[in-house]
Amino acid sequence: MKFSAQQIAAALNGVIVGNTNVEVSSISKIEEGKKGSISFLANPKYTHFIYSTNASIVIVNDDFEPTTTLNTTLIKVKNAENAFAQLLEMYNQVKLAKTGISKHAFIHESATVGKNVYVGEFAVVAENAKIGDNAKIYPQVYVGENVSIGENTTLFAGVKIYSDGVIGADCIIHSGTVIGSDGFRFALQDGGKKVPQIGNVVIEDNVELGSNCSIDRATIGSTILRSGVKLDNLVHIAHNVEIKENSYLAANNVIAGSTTIGKNCMFSGQVGIVGHLTIADNTIIAAQSGISKSITTEGTAVMGSPAMEVTKYRKNYIHFRNLSSIVDKLYELEKTLLGKKV
């Protein structure tokens, strides 16, 4: 699909400098711009590329003035970076605007499907499932029995949702993610017999889950991701965990069973949290930290394994790095003292 400079400028409230009729059909970095693509310039570090780029249109700040002739059309806006982000969102909406049900999809006769829904090839919508208006179910998705999918939610290819799951509105779930697999519970005193997992997973509105995440169903009750939660790729959430509103977890986080994560928390990559803990609102956890105790003070920042308050960790780290020389000095001191005693 092609868009003219006039159309783009109108959408961004911009001013055109150059060919008003030039058209673009793709987006590029300014240093990799090709004919028929649109790019942007916001960081002065990249200014020199605007004189050599082959991009047909470049979005720039309204105070930009070229020092020599350009081979591209400019669209001047108040904030080039924000305008380009807006353009990306518009492009994505057009790209993902899919509707219709493939003849190769299976939808059980007892399922309910809303208006303007897309269901791709070899997707399965099982008994008594409910699909909200404008939802998008990409190829090879499995929506299990009694699952509810809210309006405007997108399930990308290969997502699997086990029975009784509840997914809210305006959610995005990326490929390979599994929602509702059994929690990891075994009765060790009874020869390792598996404990049945009869709960479900509840995901509220405006949640985004990266690719290949695993969200376990509760043993009893629900594993819950509250509104606005964002998970990166490869995150594991165990049975009966609750993550409260607007918390962000980066890749490879592992949250063990029955732990509660507060609101507005931010966890960097590879954080591990043991089970049955409480993490206070607004907690920040640095990458590769191990959390073995509850964090009860709001706004705490921790790092390390076992984790400690971040300023204390940094002070101690100086000693960790110098530990070998400190030990050598202790040995020398010991020899001196023993020598005096003799």
Q: Report the Cα 312 to chain-centroid distance in Å.
A: 30
Distance in angstroms (rounded) separating the CA atoms of residues 5 and 58: 10
Q: Reply yes or no on whether 239 is catalytic.
A: yes
How far CA 39 is from CA of 2, 59, 80, in Å, comes to 15, 6, 10
Long-range contact pairs involving 17-23 (C-beta distance under 8 Å, separation at least 24): 17/73, 17/74, 17/75, 17/76, 18/70, 18/72, 18/73, 18/74, 19/73, 20/73, 22/56, 22/57, 22/73, 23/56
Q: Residue 299: which region, alpha, beta or left (left: phi > 0; alpha: psi -120 to 50)? A: left
Are 141 and 129 a contacting pair, CB within 8 Å?
no
Set 104, 174, 236, 239: catalytic member: 239
How far CA 284 is from CA of 80, 182, 307, in Å, comes to 31, 29, 11
- Neighbouring CB atoms inside 10 A of 246's CB total 16
Distance in angstroms (rounded) separating the CA atoms of residues 290 and 297: 17
Start-to-end CA span in the chain (Å): 91
Catalytic site positions: 239
